[in-house]
Structure 1
Amino acid sequence: MPSFSDVSYSREATVAAIRDYYRFLVSMYLDASNVLEPPEGGWPSIPPNGWENFDKTDEVIALLRELPYLRQGSDPYQINGAPYTVFADWQFTDEDIDGQDLKEWSELDPDEAEIPAHIVGLTAPSDKSPAMLLDTELGVIYWYECPRGVKGGEFQEIEGDPYDWVDDDLIPENQVEWRAGSGIWPIETFFKMLKANFQKLNFVPIGPREVQDVWVARDEYAKETQFAVQNIYRKQGWPNMARFNKQACSAEVKTLLEERAPSLAE
Protein backbone atom coordinates (compact mmCIF):
# COMPACT_ATOMS: atom_id res chain seq x y z
CA MET A 1 0.00 0.00 0.00
CA PRO A 2 1.22 3.54 -0.72
CA SER A 3 1.71 5.99 2.14
CA PHE A 4 1.45 9.76 2.04
CA SER A 5 5.24 9.94 1.75
CA ASP A 6 4.94 8.13 -1.60
CA VAL A 7 2.37 10.57 -3.01
CA SER A 8 2.61 14.10 -4.34
CA TYR A 9 0.26 16.53 -6.05
CA SER A 10 0.66 17.77 -9.62
CA ARG A 11 -1.92 19.98 -11.30
CA GLU A 12 -0.79 18.84 -14.75
CA ALA A 13 -1.06 15.15 -13.80
CA THR A 14 -4.46 15.73 -12.16
CA VAL A 15 -5.91 17.44 -15.23
CA ALA A 16 -4.49 14.65 -17.44
CA ALA A 17 -5.95 11.91 -15.22
CA ILE A 18 -9.44 13.43 -15.24
CA ARG A 19 -9.32 14.09 -19.00
CA ASP A 20 -8.21 10.49 -19.61
CA TYR A 21 -11.02 9.20 -17.39
CA TYR A 22 -13.71 11.19 -19.20
CA ARG A 23 -12.38 9.98 -22.55
CA PHE A 24 -12.60 6.43 -21.20
CA LEU A 25 -16.27 7.00 -20.33
CA VAL A 26 -16.87 8.24 -23.87
CA SER A 27 -15.27 5.08 -25.24
CA MET A 28 -17.75 3.02 -23.21
CA TYR A 29 -21.13 4.78 -23.02
CA LEU A 30 -21.09 8.59 -22.98
CA ASP A 31 -21.53 10.80 -26.02
CA ALA A 32 -18.42 12.84 -26.82
CA SER A 33 -20.52 16.03 -26.56
CA ASN A 34 -20.89 15.34 -22.82
CA VAL A 35 -17.22 16.24 -22.23
CA LEU A 36 -16.48 19.97 -22.11
CA GLU A 37 -12.88 21.10 -22.66
CA PRO A 38 -11.60 24.44 -21.34
CA PRO A 39 -10.57 27.14 -23.80
CA GLU A 40 -6.98 28.33 -23.88
CA GLY A 41 -6.33 30.28 -20.71
CA GLY A 42 -8.96 28.39 -18.69
CA TRP A 43 -12.69 28.71 -18.13
CA PRO A 44 -13.65 32.43 -18.25
CA SER A 45 -16.71 31.71 -16.07
CA ILE A 46 -14.43 30.79 -13.14
CA PRO A 47 -12.97 34.02 -11.70
CA PRO A 48 -9.15 33.91 -11.45
CA ASN A 49 -9.42 34.81 -7.76
CA GLY A 50 -12.42 32.56 -7.09
CA TRP A 51 -15.88 33.50 -5.90
CA GLU A 52 -16.70 35.64 -2.88
CA ASN A 53 -16.82 33.52 0.30
CA PHE A 54 -15.39 30.48 -1.52
CA ASP A 55 -12.31 30.53 0.70
CA LYS A 56 -10.23 28.09 -1.33
CA THR A 57 -6.54 28.25 -2.17
CA ASP A 58 -5.16 29.75 -5.35
CA GLU A 59 -4.18 26.22 -6.43
CA VAL A 60 -7.76 24.99 -6.13
CA ILE A 61 -9.01 27.86 -8.28
CA ALA A 62 -6.25 27.32 -10.86
CA LEU A 63 -7.13 23.62 -11.05
CA LEU A 64 -10.85 24.26 -11.50
CA ARG A 65 -10.10 26.71 -14.31
CA GLU A 66 -8.09 24.06 -16.22
CA LEU A 67 -10.20 20.94 -15.75
CA PRO A 68 -12.49 19.40 -18.37
CA TYR A 69 -16.04 18.76 -17.14
CA LEU A 70 -18.99 16.52 -17.84
CA ARG A 71 -21.93 18.51 -19.16
CA GLN A 72 -24.71 18.38 -16.59
CA GLY A 73 -28.34 19.23 -17.28
CA SER A 74 -31.00 19.81 -14.67
CA ASP A 75 -32.35 16.88 -12.67
CA PRO A 76 -33.34 14.25 -13.86
CA TYR A 77 -31.14 14.85 -16.90
CA GLN A 78 -27.84 14.68 -15.05
CA ILE A 79 -25.46 12.01 -16.25
CA ASN A 80 -23.50 9.64 -14.04
CA GLY A 81 -19.72 9.41 -14.37
CA ALA A 82 -19.46 6.61 -11.75
CA PRO A 83 -22.15 4.73 -9.79
CA TYR A 84 -24.94 7.21 -8.95
CA THR A 85 -22.28 9.96 -9.18
CA VAL A 86 -22.88 13.44 -10.57
CA PHE A 87 -19.51 15.07 -11.21
CA ALA A 88 -19.50 18.80 -10.51
CA ASP A 89 -19.46 21.00 -13.60
CA TRP A 90 -17.66 23.99 -12.11
CA GLN A 91 -17.53 26.03 -15.32
CA PHE A 92 -21.32 26.46 -15.40
CA THR A 93 -21.28 28.83 -12.43
CA ASP A 94 -22.16 32.51 -12.44
CA GLU A 95 -19.41 34.95 -11.50
CA ASP A 96 -21.74 36.57 -8.97
CA ILE A 97 -22.71 33.35 -7.17
CA ASP A 98 -21.85 33.12 -3.49
CA GLY A 99 -18.88 30.85 -2.83
CA GLN A 100 -20.43 29.49 0.35
CA ASP A 101 -23.31 28.10 -1.72
CA LEU A 102 -20.78 26.41 -4.02
CA LYS A 103 -19.03 24.75 -1.09
CA GLU A 104 -22.32 23.46 0.30
CA TRP A 105 -23.23 22.17 -3.16
CA SER A 106 -19.97 20.25 -3.61
CA GLU A 107 -18.90 19.17 -0.12
CA LEU A 108 -20.11 17.34 2.97
CA ASP A 109 -22.58 18.87 5.40
CA PRO A 110 -20.63 21.75 6.99
CA ASP A 111 -22.22 20.92 10.37
CA GLU A 112 -20.64 17.45 10.19
CA ALA A 113 -17.30 18.02 8.45
CA GLU A 114 -14.78 20.81 8.20
CA ILE A 115 -13.26 20.86 4.72
CA PRO A 116 -10.02 22.90 4.50
CA ALA A 117 -9.21 25.44 1.81
CA HIS A 118 -6.90 23.13 -0.15
CA ILE A 119 -9.58 20.44 -0.66
CA VAL A 120 -12.32 20.79 -3.28
CA GLY A 121 -15.37 18.72 -4.15
CA LEU A 122 -15.34 16.77 -7.42
CA THR A 123 -19.01 15.83 -7.21
CA ALA A 124 -22.41 17.26 -6.30
CA PRO A 125 -23.32 15.09 -3.27
CA SER A 126 -26.96 14.18 -2.70
CA ASP A 127 -29.01 11.32 -1.30
CA LYS A 128 -27.68 9.23 -4.22
CA SER A 129 -24.56 10.97 -5.49
CA PRO A 130 -21.52 10.35 -3.25
CA ALA A 131 -19.07 12.97 -2.01
CA MET A 132 -15.64 12.75 -3.66
CA LEU A 133 -13.09 15.38 -2.66
CA LEU A 134 -9.66 16.18 -4.08
CA ASP A 135 -6.78 17.22 -1.82
CA THR A 136 -4.29 19.54 -3.55
CA GLU A 137 -1.78 19.32 -0.68
CA LEU A 138 -1.59 15.58 -0.09
CA GLY A 139 -2.34 14.56 -3.69
CA VAL A 140 -5.23 12.21 -2.88
CA ILE A 141 -8.97 11.80 -3.48
CA TYR A 142 -11.42 10.92 -0.71
CA TRP A 143 -14.56 8.90 -1.51
CA TYR A 144 -16.74 9.47 1.54
CA GLU A 145 -18.62 6.34 2.72
CA CYS A 146 -17.15 4.42 -0.19
CA PRO A 147 -18.86 1.04 -0.89
CA ARG A 148 -16.96 -1.83 0.68
CA GLY A 149 -16.79 -3.65 -2.65
CA VAL A 150 -14.73 -0.82 -4.15
CA LYS A 151 -12.00 -1.05 -1.54
CA GLY A 152 -9.03 -3.41 -1.74
CA GLY A 153 -7.97 -5.25 -4.84
CA GLU A 154 -5.32 -4.12 -7.29
CA PHE A 155 -5.61 -0.39 -6.60
CA GLN A 156 -4.82 -0.05 -2.92
CA GLU A 157 -5.80 2.85 -0.73
CA ILE A 158 -3.42 5.05 1.22
CA GLU A 159 -1.86 3.13 4.07
CA GLY A 160 -2.43 4.24 7.65
CA ASP A 161 -5.04 5.33 10.17
CA PRO A 162 -6.33 8.94 10.04
CA TYR A 163 -6.15 9.03 13.83
CA ASP A 164 -2.39 8.47 13.56
CA TRP A 165 -2.08 11.18 10.93
CA VAL A 166 -3.03 13.77 13.53
CA ASP A 167 0.06 12.82 15.55
CA ASP A 168 2.14 13.09 12.37
CA ASP A 169 0.79 16.62 11.79
CA LEU A 170 -0.72 15.60 8.44
CA ILE A 171 -4.25 16.65 9.38
CA PRO A 172 -5.92 18.57 12.22
CA GLU A 173 -7.88 16.62 14.84
CA ASN A 174 -11.20 18.16 13.79
CA GLN A 175 -10.88 16.54 10.34
CA VAL A 176 -10.26 12.97 11.44
CA GLU A 177 -13.81 11.65 11.43
CA TRP A 178 -14.80 12.37 7.84
CA ARG A 179 -11.42 11.22 6.50
CA ALA A 180 -11.64 8.01 8.53
CA GLY A 181 -15.02 7.41 6.89
CA SER A 182 -13.55 7.69 3.37
CA GLY A 183 -11.72 5.52 0.91
CA ILE A 184 -8.48 7.38 0.10
CA TRP A 185 -6.40 6.93 -3.07
CA PRO A 186 -3.62 8.83 -4.84
CA ILE A 187 -5.31 10.94 -7.52
CA GLU A 188 -4.12 9.01 -10.58
CA THR A 189 -4.71 5.66 -8.84
CA PHE A 190 -8.27 6.71 -8.00
CA PHE A 191 -9.22 7.10 -11.66
CA LYS A 192 -7.44 3.87 -12.61
CA MET A 193 -9.52 2.14 -9.92
CA LEU A 194 -12.76 3.57 -11.34
CA LYS A 195 -11.84 2.46 -14.85
CA ALA A 196 -10.96 -1.05 -13.65
CA ASN A 197 -14.39 -1.41 -12.06
CA PHE A 198 -16.06 -0.38 -15.32
CA GLN A 199 -13.88 -2.84 -17.22
CA LYS A 200 -14.94 -5.63 -14.86
CA LEU A 201 -18.58 -4.43 -15.10
CA ASN A 202 -18.74 -3.94 -11.35
CA PHE A 203 -19.93 -0.51 -12.51
CA VAL A 204 -22.73 -0.91 -15.04
CA PRO A 205 -24.02 1.90 -17.28
CA ILE A 206 -27.81 1.44 -17.25
CA GLY A 207 -28.81 3.86 -19.98
CA PRO A 208 -27.20 7.25 -20.61
CA ARG A 209 -27.99 8.78 -17.22
CA GLU A 210 -27.50 6.06 -14.62
CA VAL A 211 -24.52 3.97 -13.62
CA GLN A 212 -25.19 1.23 -11.07
CA ASP A 213 -22.78 -0.89 -9.07
CA VAL A 214 -23.17 -4.61 -8.41
CA TRP A 215 -23.18 -4.29 -4.61
CA VAL A 216 -26.40 -2.35 -3.99
CA ALA A 217 -29.33 -4.59 -3.04
CA ARG A 218 -32.18 -4.46 -5.59
CA ASP A 219 -35.28 -6.47 -6.41
CA GLU A 220 -35.15 -9.50 -8.69
CA TYR A 221 -36.45 -7.64 -11.74
CA ALA A 222 -33.82 -4.90 -11.40
CA LYS A 223 -31.07 -7.50 -10.87
CA GLU A 224 -32.17 -9.31 -14.02
CA THR A 225 -32.09 -6.02 -15.94
CA GLN A 226 -28.59 -5.23 -14.70
CA PHE A 227 -27.38 -8.73 -15.57
CA ALA A 228 -28.89 -8.41 -19.07
CA VAL A 229 -27.06 -5.12 -19.64
CA GLN A 230 -23.78 -6.68 -18.50
CA ASN A 231 -24.31 -9.51 -20.99
CA ILE A 232 -24.91 -7.02 -23.82
CA TYR A 233 -21.60 -5.31 -23.08
CA ARG A 234 -19.77 -8.62 -23.04
CA LYS A 235 -21.46 -9.78 -26.23
CA GLN A 236 -20.36 -6.58 -27.97
CA GLY A 237 -16.72 -7.19 -26.98
CA TRP A 238 -16.30 -5.25 -23.74
CA PRO A 239 -13.70 -4.69 -22.29
CA ASN A 240 -11.57 -5.48 -25.36
CA MET A 241 -11.47 -2.08 -27.08
CA ALA A 242 -10.28 -3.68 -30.32
CA ARG A 243 -13.55 -5.63 -30.45
CA PHE A 244 -16.01 -3.45 -28.55
CA ASN A 245 -18.83 -2.03 -30.68
CA LYS A 246 -20.08 0.95 -28.69
CA GLN A 247 -22.78 1.93 -31.19
CA ALA A 248 -24.30 -1.55 -31.35
CA CYS A 249 -24.02 -1.92 -27.58
CA SER A 250 -25.79 1.38 -26.90
CA ALA A 251 -28.58 0.52 -29.34
CA GLU A 252 -29.12 -2.91 -27.81
CA VAL A 253 -29.10 -1.55 -24.24
CA LYS A 254 -31.64 1.12 -25.28
CA THR A 255 -33.95 -1.50 -26.79
CA LEU A 256 -33.70 -3.60 -23.62
CA LEU A 257 -34.46 -0.66 -21.36
CA GLU A 258 -37.40 0.51 -23.46
CA GLU A 259 -38.93 -2.89 -22.71
CA ARG A 260 -37.88 -3.33 -19.08
CA ALA A 261 -37.20 0.16 -17.66
CA PRO A 262 -38.49 2.91 -19.99
CA SER A 263 -37.59 5.77 -17.64
CA LEU A 264 -33.90 4.82 -17.92
CA ALA A 265 -33.92 4.60 -21.70
CA GLU A 266 -34.53 8.32 -22.29
Structure 2
Amino acid sequence: MTNPPWQRLTRDQLATVIGDYYKFLTRFYIPESALKFPPPGGWPNISPETTKGFPRSPIVIDLLRRLPYIDEGDAGTMTTNIHYKSDVVDYSTWEPHQWAEDDQSGALSVQQWVEELEERKRDKPKDEEEEEGYLWYQDEGRDKDADDEENWFDGDDPEDIKLEHMIVIADGYESGGRAIVLDVVKGNIYEDILACSGLKSEMAVEDYFDDLKTKFEKLEMVPVPGLGHHEGTLYGDIEGVPEVHEFDKSFTADDKDAAQQYKKIYQSFGWPGETYRKEEALAAIRAHAQRRSEAEETASS
Protein backbone atom coordinates (compact mmCIF):
# COMPACT_ATOMS: atom_id res chain seq x y z
CA MET A 1 0.00 0.00 0.00
CA THR A 2 1.35 3.43 -0.90
CA ASN A 3 0.32 6.98 -0.19
CA PRO A 4 -0.91 9.42 -2.85
CA PRO A 5 2.07 11.17 -4.47
CA TRP A 6 1.28 14.66 -3.17
CA GLN A 7 1.33 16.56 0.11
CA ARG A 8 -1.84 16.75 2.19
CA LEU A 9 -0.91 20.33 3.09
CA THR A 10 1.18 22.66 0.97
CA ARG A 11 4.48 24.11 2.12
CA ASP A 12 2.85 27.45 2.87
CA GLN A 13 -0.02 25.84 4.77
CA LEU A 14 2.42 23.92 6.96
CA ALA A 15 4.50 27.05 7.59
CA THR A 16 1.35 28.97 8.55
CA VAL A 17 0.11 26.30 10.98
CA ILE A 18 3.48 26.07 12.73
CA GLY A 19 4.08 29.83 12.65
CA ASP A 20 0.65 30.58 14.12
CA TYR A 21 1.42 28.31 17.07
CA TYR A 22 4.74 30.06 17.67
CA LYS A 23 3.02 33.48 17.52
CA PHE A 24 0.44 32.26 20.03
CA LEU A 25 3.22 31.29 22.44
CA THR A 26 4.87 34.71 22.09
CA ARG A 27 1.57 36.24 23.21
CA PHE A 28 1.62 33.95 26.26
CA TYR A 29 5.21 33.61 27.55
CA ILE A 30 7.91 33.34 24.87
CA PRO A 31 9.74 36.65 24.13
CA GLU A 32 8.58 38.16 20.84
CA SER A 33 12.21 38.85 19.97
CA ALA A 34 12.90 35.09 19.92
CA LEU A 35 10.54 34.47 16.98
CA LYS A 36 12.04 34.98 13.56
CA PHE A 37 10.60 34.68 10.07
CA PRO A 38 12.48 33.94 6.83
CA PRO A 39 13.38 36.70 4.37
CA PRO A 40 11.33 36.83 1.13
CA GLY A 41 13.52 34.28 -0.64
CA GLY A 42 13.75 31.93 2.32
CA TRP A 43 16.64 31.24 4.68
CA PRO A 44 19.81 31.59 2.56
CA ASN A 45 21.72 28.81 4.37
CA ILE A 46 19.06 26.22 3.41
CA SER A 47 19.19 25.20 -0.24
CA PRO A 48 19.58 22.03 -2.35
CA GLU A 49 23.30 22.79 -2.57
CA THR A 50 23.99 23.38 1.14
CA THR A 51 21.85 20.41 2.24
CA LYS A 52 22.99 17.84 -0.32
CA GLY A 53 24.43 15.63 2.44
CA PHE A 54 21.18 15.69 4.40
CA PRO A 55 19.09 12.52 3.90
CA ARG A 56 15.75 14.26 3.38
CA SER A 57 13.52 14.79 0.35
CA PRO A 58 13.37 18.09 -1.60
CA ILE A 59 9.93 18.95 -0.15
CA VAL A 60 11.40 18.78 3.36
CA ILE A 61 14.27 21.11 2.42
CA ASP A 62 11.82 23.48 0.74
CA LEU A 63 9.72 23.62 3.92
CA LEU A 64 12.71 24.17 6.21
CA ARG A 65 13.78 27.06 4.00
CA ARG A 66 10.44 28.79 4.55
CA LEU A 67 9.65 27.93 8.18
CA PRO A 68 9.74 30.45 11.04
CA TYR A 69 12.01 29.50 13.94
CA ILE A 70 12.51 30.32 17.61
CA ASP A 71 15.98 31.40 18.64
CA GLU A 72 17.87 28.76 20.63
CA GLY A 73 19.71 31.26 22.83
CA ASP A 74 17.61 30.32 25.87
CA ALA A 75 17.33 26.60 25.07
CA GLY A 76 16.86 24.34 28.06
CA THR A 77 15.31 26.98 30.34
CA MET A 78 11.59 26.79 29.42
CA THR A 79 11.90 30.44 28.36
CA THR A 80 11.49 29.42 24.72
CA ASN A 81 10.27 25.82 25.02
CA ILE A 82 7.21 25.04 22.91
CA HIS A 83 6.30 21.95 24.94
CA TYR A 84 7.71 20.18 27.99
CA LYS A 85 11.53 20.32 27.77
CA SER A 86 11.21 20.87 24.02
CA ASP A 87 13.21 23.44 22.03
CA VAL A 88 12.63 24.33 18.38
CA VAL A 89 15.46 23.14 16.14
CA ASP A 90 16.62 26.35 14.47
CA TYR A 91 17.69 25.15 11.03
CA SER A 92 18.12 28.77 9.91
CA THR A 93 21.47 28.84 11.75
CA TRP A 94 22.84 25.51 10.51
CA GLU A 95 26.19 25.58 8.76
CA PRO A 96 27.10 23.31 5.81
CA HIS A 97 28.94 20.74 7.93
CA GLN A 98 25.86 20.23 10.13
CA TRP A 99 23.74 19.07 7.19
CA ALA A 100 26.37 16.48 6.32
CA GLU A 101 26.56 14.89 9.76
CA ASP A 102 25.07 11.46 10.48
CA ASP A 103 21.52 12.69 10.84
CA GLN A 104 19.34 15.40 12.31
CA SER A 105 19.09 15.85 16.04
CA GLY A 106 16.47 13.72 17.71
CA ALA A 107 15.84 11.50 14.69
CA LEU A 108 17.27 8.22 15.95
CA SER A 109 14.07 7.15 17.72
CA VAL A 110 12.07 8.02 14.60
CA GLN A 111 14.31 5.86 12.45
CA GLN A 112 14.00 2.96 14.88
CA TRP A 113 10.23 3.35 14.90
CA VAL A 114 10.04 3.35 11.10
CA GLU A 115 12.11 0.15 11.06
CA GLU A 116 9.75 -1.46 13.59
CA LEU A 117 6.75 -0.56 11.44
CA GLU A 118 8.40 -2.01 8.37
CA GLU A 119 9.10 -5.23 10.25
CA ARG A 120 5.50 -5.34 11.45
CA LYS A 121 4.24 -4.98 7.87
CA ARG A 122 6.50 -7.79 6.69
CA ASP A 123 5.12 -10.05 9.41
CA LYS A 124 1.47 -9.19 8.71
CA PRO A 125 -0.53 -12.31 7.65
CA LYS A 126 -1.52 -12.46 3.99
CA ASP A 127 -5.26 -12.73 4.70
CA GLU A 128 -5.09 -9.60 6.89
CA GLU A 129 -3.61 -7.64 4.02
CA GLU A 130 -6.41 -8.78 1.73
CA GLU A 131 -9.08 -7.51 4.13
CA GLU A 132 -7.97 -3.90 3.97
CA GLY A 133 -10.82 -2.98 1.63
CA TYR A 134 -11.24 -0.43 -1.13
CA LEU A 135 -8.59 2.29 -1.35
CA TRP A 136 -9.91 5.07 -3.58
CA TYR A 137 -6.51 6.46 -4.54
CA GLN A 138 -5.43 3.07 -5.94
CA ASP A 139 -8.48 2.91 -8.22
CA GLU A 140 -7.23 3.86 -11.68
CA GLY A 141 -10.83 4.13 -12.90
CA ARG A 142 -11.80 6.81 -10.39
CA ASP A 143 -12.76 10.40 -11.24
CA LYS A 144 -9.31 11.95 -10.87
CA ASP A 145 -10.70 15.48 -11.26
CA ALA A 146 -12.25 15.04 -7.84
CA ASP A 147 -9.05 13.88 -6.15
CA ASP A 148 -8.39 17.22 -4.49
CA GLU A 149 -11.76 16.98 -2.76
CA GLU A 150 -10.82 13.73 -1.05
CA ASN A 151 -9.41 13.73 2.47
CA TRP A 152 -6.87 10.97 1.91
CA PHE A 153 -5.55 11.41 5.43
CA ASP A 154 -8.59 9.49 6.72
CA GLY A 155 -8.00 6.56 4.39
CA ASP A 156 -4.24 6.58 4.63
CA ASP A 157 -2.06 3.74 5.83
CA PRO A 158 -0.60 4.92 9.17
CA GLU A 159 2.23 2.42 8.81
CA ASP A 160 3.43 3.74 5.45
CA ILE A 161 6.07 6.11 6.79
CA LYS A 162 9.17 7.22 4.93
CA LEU A 163 12.02 8.66 6.96
CA GLU A 164 13.06 10.91 4.06
CA HIS A 165 9.82 12.88 4.52
CA MET A 166 10.18 13.32 8.29
CA ILE A 167 11.84 16.20 10.10
CA VAL A 168 12.37 17.06 13.77
CA ILE A 169 10.60 20.38 14.45
CA ALA A 170 11.52 20.52 18.12
CA ASP A 171 14.08 18.46 20.04
CA GLY A 172 13.34 17.14 23.51
CA TYR A 173 15.91 16.94 26.28
CA GLU A 174 16.06 14.96 29.52
CA SER A 175 13.49 12.41 30.69
CA GLY A 176 9.98 13.30 29.57
CA GLY A 177 11.14 15.90 27.06
CA ARG A 178 9.10 16.09 23.85
CA ALA A 179 10.69 15.64 20.44
CA ILE A 180 8.14 16.84 17.87
CA VAL A 181 8.48 15.19 14.46
CA LEU A 182 6.64 16.22 11.29
CA ASP A 183 5.84 13.98 8.31
CA VAL A 184 5.86 16.63 5.59
CA VAL A 185 3.91 14.56 3.03
CA LYS A 186 1.19 13.37 5.37
CA GLY A 187 1.04 16.59 7.37
CA ASN A 188 1.18 14.53 10.57
CA ILE A 189 2.93 15.14 13.88
CA TYR A 190 4.54 12.38 15.93
CA GLU A 191 5.47 13.21 19.51
CA ASP A 192 8.36 11.33 21.10
CA ILE A 193 8.41 11.35 24.90
CA LEU A 194 12.05 10.76 25.77
CA ALA A 195 12.93 7.88 28.09
CA CYS A 196 9.22 7.23 28.65
CA SER A 197 6.51 5.85 26.38
CA GLY A 198 8.21 6.54 23.05
CA LEU A 199 6.50 7.83 19.93
CA LYS A 200 2.80 8.60 20.19
CA SER A 201 0.43 7.85 17.32
CA GLU A 202 0.25 10.30 14.45
CA MET A 203 -1.98 13.38 14.62
CA ALA A 204 -2.78 15.95 11.93
CA VAL A 205 -0.41 18.89 12.40
CA GLU A 206 -3.24 21.44 12.61
CA ASP A 207 -5.06 19.35 15.25
CA TYR A 208 -1.88 18.79 17.23
CA PHE A 209 -1.05 22.47 17.60
CA ASP A 210 -4.71 23.44 18.13
CA ASP A 211 -4.81 20.94 20.99
CA LEU A 212 -1.71 22.45 22.57
CA LYS A 213 -3.15 25.96 22.20
CA THR A 214 -6.33 24.87 23.96
CA LYS A 215 -4.37 23.33 26.84
CA PHE A 216 -2.36 26.53 27.28
CA GLU A 217 -5.48 28.71 27.07
CA LYS A 218 -7.20 26.63 29.75
CA LEU A 219 -3.96 26.45 31.74
CA GLU A 220 -4.02 22.68 31.70
CA MET A 221 -0.34 23.24 30.87
CA VAL A 222 1.38 25.90 33.00
CA PRO A 223 4.78 27.25 31.88
CA VAL A 224 7.31 28.57 34.38
CA PRO A 225 10.28 30.18 32.58
CA GLY A 226 13.69 29.67 34.14
CA LEU A 227 15.75 32.22 36.01
CA GLY A 228 19.30 32.08 37.31
CA HIS A 229 20.02 28.55 38.51
CA HIS A 230 16.33 27.65 38.11
CA GLU A 231 15.89 25.95 34.71
CA GLY A 232 12.11 26.39 34.59
CA THR A 233 9.41 23.81 34.03
CA LEU A 234 6.07 23.12 32.39
CA TYR A 235 3.34 21.66 34.53
CA GLY A 236 0.77 19.53 32.71
CA ASP A 237 -2.75 18.18 33.29
CA ILE A 238 -3.55 20.63 36.07
CA GLU A 239 -7.04 20.70 37.55
CA GLY A 240 -8.54 23.09 40.07
CA VAL A 241 -7.50 26.63 40.97
CA PRO A 242 -7.27 27.20 44.73
CA GLU A 243 -7.59 30.73 46.03
CA VAL A 244 -3.91 31.40 46.71
CA HIS A 245 -2.96 35.02 47.37
CA GLU A 246 0.55 34.70 48.75
CA PHE A 247 3.36 32.19 48.92
CA ASP A 248 2.85 29.33 51.37
CA LYS A 249 5.89 27.13 51.97
CA SER A 250 3.59 24.22 52.77
CA PHE A 251 3.10 23.93 49.01
CA THR A 252 6.83 23.55 48.36
CA ALA A 253 6.98 19.77 48.03
CA ASP A 254 3.77 19.30 46.00
CA ASP A 255 4.12 19.95 42.27
CA LYS A 256 0.39 20.01 41.65
CA ASP A 257 -0.25 22.63 44.32
CA ALA A 258 2.71 24.65 43.01
CA ALA A 259 1.28 24.56 39.50
CA GLN A 260 -2.07 25.77 40.78
CA GLN A 261 -0.41 28.80 42.34
CA TYR A 262 1.31 29.66 39.05
CA LYS A 263 -2.00 29.13 37.26
CA LYS A 264 -3.65 31.61 39.62
CA ILE A 265 -0.95 34.17 38.87
CA TYR A 266 -1.48 33.94 35.08
CA GLN A 267 -5.22 34.30 35.52
CA SER A 268 -4.83 37.30 37.80
CA PHE A 269 -3.06 39.13 34.96
CA GLY A 270 -5.84 38.42 32.48
CA TRP A 271 -4.81 35.23 30.69
CA PRO A 272 -6.15 34.17 28.20
CA GLY A 273 -8.14 37.35 27.50
CA GLU A 274 -7.33 40.33 25.33
CA THR A 275 -6.35 42.33 28.42
CA TYR A 276 -3.61 39.85 29.37
CA ARG A 277 -0.56 41.69 30.74
CA LYS A 278 2.23 39.39 29.67
CA GLU A 279 5.30 41.12 31.09
CA GLU A 280 3.67 41.74 34.47
CA ALA A 281 2.51 38.12 34.61
CA LEU A 282 5.97 36.77 33.83
CA ALA A 283 7.57 39.07 36.41
CA ALA A 284 5.16 37.74 39.03
CA ILE A 285 5.83 34.13 37.92
CA ARG A 286 9.58 34.62 38.24
CA ALA A 287 9.23 36.29 41.64
CA HIS A 288 7.10 33.41 42.89
CA ALA A 289 9.59 30.87 41.50
CA GLN A 290 12.36 32.70 43.36
CA ARG A 291 10.39 32.61 46.63
CA ARG A 292 9.76 28.89 46.22
CA SER A 293 13.44 28.26 45.50
CA GLU A 294 14.50 30.23 48.59
CA ALA A 295 11.98 28.36 50.75
CA GLU A 296 13.25 25.01 49.49
CA GLU A 297 16.85 26.01 50.27
CA THR A 298 15.82 27.11 53.75
CA ALA A 299 13.89 23.90 54.38
CA SER A 300 16.85 21.75 53.32
CA SER A 301 19.45 23.64 55.37
- With the shorter chain as reference, the TM-score category is 0.7 to 0.9
Q: SS state of the match for residue 182, structure 2?
A: strand
Pair 1:190 & 2:214 matched: no
Change (3 A) 1:204 1:183: farther
Query: Could you tell me how far 1:214 is from its partner in structure 2?
Result: 2.3
Q: Does 1:135 align with 2:176?
A: no
Report which stretch shifted further, 38-47 or 48-57. 48-57
Q: Secondary structure at the match of 2:202?
A: strand
Name the TM-score, length of structure 2 as normaliser.
0.66
1:39 positional shift:
1.1
Per the alignment, residue 125 of structure 1 pairs with 172
Q: Distance in 2 between matches of 1:223 and 1:117?
A: 41
Corresponding position of 1:164: none
Match of 1:48 in 2: 48
Decide whether the 8 Å contact of 1:81 with 1:211 is kept in 2.
no
In the alignment, does 2:276 pair up with 1:223? no
When residues 11 and 211 of structure 1 are mapped into structure 2, their CA distance, relative to the original with a 3 A threshold, is farther
Question: Larger C-alpha radius of gyration, 1 or 2?
Answer: 2
Task: Return the alpha-carbon distance in structure 1 between the equivalents of residues 110 and 216 of structure 2.
Answer: 32
8 Å CA contact 2:179, 2:192 repeated in 1: yes
Count matched residues.
Answer: 223
Measure the CA separation in 2 of the matches of 1:52 and 1:102: 12
Partner of 1:167: none
Q: Distance in 2 between matches of 1:76 and 1:145?
A: 16
The match for 1:17 is: 17
Residue of structure 2 in register with 1:249 after alignment? 281
Measure how far apart 1:52 and its partner are. 4.2
8 Å CA contact retained: 1:83, 1:210: no
Write the mapping of 1:34-113 to structure 2, written as runs, cut at 5 A.
Answer: 34-73=34-73, 76-77=76-77, 79-103=80-104, 105-109=105-109, 112-113=112-113
User: Displacement, 1:109?
Assistant: 3.3
Equivalent residue letter for 2:81: N
If each structure's strand is expressed as a fraction of its own residues, which one has the higher value? 2
Contact 2:50 2:99 in 1 (8 A): no
Q: 1:211 to 1:195 in 2, by over 3 A?
A: farther
For residue 189 of structure 2, give the secondary structure of its aligned residue in structure 1: strand
* Alpha-carbon offset, residue 20 of structure 1: 0.8
Question: 1:121-166 CA deviation, whole Å, 9 max, x = no partner?
Answer: 11223334322111122121111349x9xxxxxxxxxxxxxxxxxx
The CA distance in 2 between the partners of 1:109 and 1:214, in whole Å, is 24
Change beyond 3 A, Cα 1:110–1:63:
closer
Q: Separation in 1 of the partners of 2:75 and 2:87?
A: 10
- Contact 2:85–2:173 (Cα < 8 Å) also in 1: no
**Aligned ranges 1:110-189 → 2 under 5 Å:** 112-114=112-114, 116-128=163-175, 129-145=177-193, 181-189=199-207
Q: Which residue of 2 aligns with 1:155?
A: none
In structure 1, the gaps of 5 or more residues are: 149-177
Contact 2:88 2:169 in 1 (8 A): yes
Q: Are the aligned partners of 1:229 and 1:253 in contact in 2 as well (CA < 8 Å)?
A: yes
What is the rounded CA distance, in whole Å, between the counterparts of 1:102 and 1:124 in structure 2? 13
TM-score under structure 1 length normalisation: 0.74
Alpha-carbon deviation of 1:111?
A: 6.9
Shift of 1:100: 3.9
Q: Report Cα offsets for 1:194-239 as digits up to 9, x if no partner.
A: 10110111211112564413249xx834333322111001111111
52-61 or 203-212, which moves further after superposition? 203-212
Unaligned runs of 5+ in 2: 115-161, 239-251, 295-301
* 8 Å Cα contact 1:50/1:61 also seen in 2: no
Superposition deviation, residue 95 in structure 1: 1.6
